[in-house]
Amino acid sequence: MTDGNKEIYDTRYGAATFQLGGDSYSRAMQAVRFELLERYGRGRDVLDVGCATGDYLKPCLEAFRSAVGLDYTQRFLDEFAASFGGALPPNLRLVCADAREMPIADRSVDFAFSFATLYSIPQGERVVAELGRVVRPGGHVALEFGNLKSLNTLVAGAWHRAESWAEPHHVKLADIRRHLDAAGFAVVDWRAFQVLPLYAVPRRLFWLRPLSGRPLRGLLGRRLAAGRMVDEVVSGSALLRPFAFRHLVVARRLGEAC
């Protein structure tokens, strides 16, 4: 299956690119994701689609019954494996493959997640369809999609053309729901983030700079008493939600458990 981003990941991105940490906004977003891993993954068979160097899987391995890290960039998987300094933990398997054709057994996973990955995969609906095959009925997915109708579509496209960053493959929100439905998933939670890009804006989009939102990252990353980030409250509001970039959807696989 063609994917111009394969070569870009092979050659342009260092393994350090994906390391967790960073500023308070990044850390707040990471905390949102780790909460989902704890809630849906504890004691379960888990799959990370686009695991890169395993920064989300590794801290949770003891909580998961088993874990599969899937990524098509062997370099990142090698780095992940090397971080154990010898043999992989017995409950971890690393699979180098395209997420649109996963060599993963039918109904073998209780919880699959994919962070910061689906929005750079062409024909991402194939990944969703594959998840419909590998996730057991009653199991869950937590998936981040990139909204086509967002400022980030302009920013990511411009960075791709200027610096050969991964080409964005953002989708319409209606298509996310359609693809999940077709794969046999029912949405249980749908959260929106990043109505402002929050990234550096390339020079040719100078007019967008006042809207980049970068100076606001600290404020938008604050968590309110209810646990939600300020960004989520703003980006998830009825008016702005259709234009927010990052849509984090939790869905349950329908069907009879065997």
Listed ranges 35-43, 113-121, 131-139, 234-242: which one lies at the site for ligand SAM (CB under 6 A): 113-121
Instruction: State which residue, 54 or 236, has the beta carbon closest to ligand SAM.
Output: 54
Name the residue among 137, 153, 85, 144 with its Cα closest to residue 114. Answer: 144
Kindly tell me which residue out of 36, 69, 117, 248 binds ligand SAM, with binding defined by CB under 6 A. 117
Give Cα separations from 17 to 9, 13, 14, 22, 55 (angstroms): 11, 7, 5, 11, 11
Assigned token pair, 70: 């899937």
Alpha-helical regions (H) of the chain = 5-11, 24-41, 74-82, 124-134, 151-163, 173-182, 217-220, 230-235
Hey, how many other C-beta atoms are within 10 angstroms of the C-beta on 114? 25
3-state secondary structure of 27: helix
Kindly tell me which residue out of 45, 71, 110, 231 binds ligand SAM, with binding defined by CB under 6 A. 71
Listed ranges 48-56, 86-94, 195-203, 208-216: which one lies at the site for ligand SAM (CB under 6 A): 48-56
Minimum distance from residue 119 beta carbon to ligand SAM (Å) = 9
Kindly tell me which residue out of 9, 159, 165, 245 binds ligand SAM, with binding defined by CB under 6 A. 9
Contact yes or no for 196/148 (Cβ under 8 A): no
Instruction: State which residue, 16 or 257, has the beta carbon closest to ligand SAM.
Output: 16
For ligand SAM, the nearest residue by Cβ is 50
Minimum distance from residue 225 beta carbon to ligand SAM (Å) = 27
Listed ranges 114-122, 186-194, 204-212, 247-255: which one lies at the site for ligand SAM (CB under 6 A): 114-122
Instruction: State which residue, 55 or 78, has the beta carbon closest to ligand SAM.
Output: 55
Residues 51-70 within binding reach of ligand SAM (CB under 6 A) = 51-52, 55
Kindly tell me which residue out of 47, 99, 104, 158 binds ligand SAM, with binding defined by CB under 6 A. 99
**Long-range contacts of the stretch 235-242 (C-beta < 8 A, 24+):** 235/192, 235/193, 235/194, 235/195, 236/191, 236/192, 236/193, 240/192, 240/195, 241/192, 242/147, 242/149, 242/173
Contact yes or no for 15/75 (Cβ under 8 A): yes
Q: Is 152 in the site for ligand SAM (CB under 6 A)?
A: no
Q: Which residues are near ligand SAM by CB under 6 A?
A: 3, 5, 9, 18, 50-52, 55, 71-73, 76, 98-100, 115-117, 120-121
